Structure 1
């Protein structure tokens, strides 16, 4: 099994060297050397994290060690290495031309693999302790490296790093409580927690692409950040016992909160997004020719899907992509539209929706038995 871990590490030396030569030839040798140094350190770190946890390559603690990593764990390991390659572009302000597309594409591939590796693990019935551990570790590494890169590129505000630090602070807090003999209380079950993490990776990957305007992605960053920070805060209050997640009162309160969101907040966001987008289209030419007619019709399609609640998350994604890539000025209206689109993407369209298959897709575990 350890051969499966050693080979990517050795293969990485050759790959890093080839990319270094390519970057040096097409850009500058200084940039190539900096990329090689940073990506090499992160590549070794990913390899070390995997090697250190090799004894977890088993189905459960009372089952024997598996002979090989399996395809699911290999995909998870590939995800870690893609994050390492992305990290090579950190602190390089002169990324231009076709090179500027590479970080977003690398991290985007890693974000897609985050869903694929789980599907492969469940379909092959080989969900291991190692896979679960590496999945969490690489999520945290990616949500540190990629946002930091986006901040350096001016695509998101520096406060977005609070999301990255929240994970490490949360886990350090649990460790500190264990070390001091304090109780650790179980988290309340939540499908939203998993969805929020997945959407963060997708957002940062898209924000890294040069086709999206920095002023738009900065606003979107705040919209995606706020729910996650609130979620981490609430989870810490539960884990530390400040909120009793098992109490009837807490369950009733959050049940009511969910109902208010589904019945009032989310439908109101849909109406605002539709009306506000129509008003913006009427007042200003937010899309530049050529293609302005097609983009305008695409925006109308997106807001119509949102208003009807027919694959509303897909509609919200269409609206966000179009607004983030448009020439729309940053105004209170455009900020409201970007925030509304982001929150509808995270939460769904709520009540009075015609067709919510996208909610099912977001919340399901691909490959799991029905």
Structure 2
């Protein structure tokens, strides 16, 4: 019997190893500039190691991780740095402009990975899922910053947690895990959320305006998830309910 071919991931591993040193130097420089304790540098370094492992495991190619996944990986590293700075809220308030600029850069790059995937015909399930999870992590990080800086109350965390509540619902109702069709509405609302959170975090944005910006974003997000859940229930939930009814 022929042995199963093992994917050669040497190219992806080599590329990520070469990226590790610049990331460590840049992140260490940011930590030194902000006066953050060096022990807290462990979080972004651990985040890098986890991301590198996930990418190498998900991209079985000896030519590297590919242009689209490369951009998404850099976006993910930006989120890791943003999340690491949240460990020191008092320093975040001092360097809020720089933090927001980094978040804006991560947002701008969001459209580039998708373009590269289409341009070079390298679209994959892993790449799409990787991009989606980076977006979700960015929204959660931005929501934590808004709450941590006292711009709004804890209700803003619904923006960051709704994606993870959706995933948790799939543990209870398997039909929630069915694949969803591509949706311009879903992508647009995702970008709207991130942009709204970034705008609110700009230091010159009045605090009273935050609610008027984020409340509509939350309502749009709730609407989007409701539409998706309704579609998933019609696609798989009704069939699952009927099957259980027949078995009983």
TM-score range, shorter chain: 0.7 to 0.9
Distance in 1, Cα, partners of 2:30 & 2:194: 24
The equivalent of 2:245 in structure 1 is none
Judge conservation of contact 1:104–1:205 (CA < 8 Å) in 2: yes
CA distance in 1, matches of 2:222, 2:23: 35
- Tell me the matched-pair count: 227
Q: Which residue of 1 aligns with 2:49?
A: 44
Question: 120-129 vs 169-178, which deviates more?
Answer: 169-178
Give the distance between the partners of 1:4 and 1:119, measured in 2 at CA.
21
- The 5-angstrom pairing of residues 276-355 of structure 1 reads none
- 1:154–1:214 contact (8 Å) kept in structure 2: no
Q: In structure 2, what is the equivalent of residue 53 of structure 1?
A: 58
Q: Aligned pair 1:23/2:16, yes or no?
A: no
Matched, 1:235 2:228: yes
Give the Cα separation in 2 of the matches to 1:143 and 1:152. 14
Q: Which runs of no fewer than 5 residues in structure 1 stay unpaired?
A: 25-30, 56-64, 246-370
Partner of 1:126, secondary structure, is: coil
Distance 1:40 1:150, change over 3 A: farther
Rounded to whole Å, the distance in 2 between the matches of 1:50 and 1:159 is 33
Taking the aligned partners of 1:89 and 1:95, their CA distance within structure 2 comes to 8
CA distance in 2, matches of 1:6, 1:105: 27
The reply on whether 1:163 has 2:159 as its aligned counterpart is: yes
Q: Which residue of 1 aligns with 2:219?
A: 226
Aligned to 1:338: none
TM-score (norm 1): 0.55
Contact 1:121/1:127, CA 8 A, preserved across alignment: yes
Deviation at 1:17, TM superposition (A): 2.0
Runs of 4+ residues over 6 Å off in structure 1: 242-245
* In structure 1, distance between residues paired with 2:132 and 2:222: 17
Pairing partner for 1:147 from 136, 143, 146: 143
Structure with the largest fraction of helix: 2
| RMSD, aligned CA | 2.8
How far the C-alpha of 1:33 sits from its partner, in A, is: 3.5
| Contact in 1 for aligned 2:78/2:102 (Cα 8 Å) | yes
Aligned to 1:106: 102
Residue segments in structure 2 that go unaligned for 5+ positions in a row: 1-11, 239-248
Q: Is the 8 A contact 1:108 1:206 kept in 2?
A: no
* Structure index of larger Rg: 1
Please give the residue correspondences for 1:189-208 in structure 2 after superposition, counting only pairs within 5 Å: 190-208=183-201
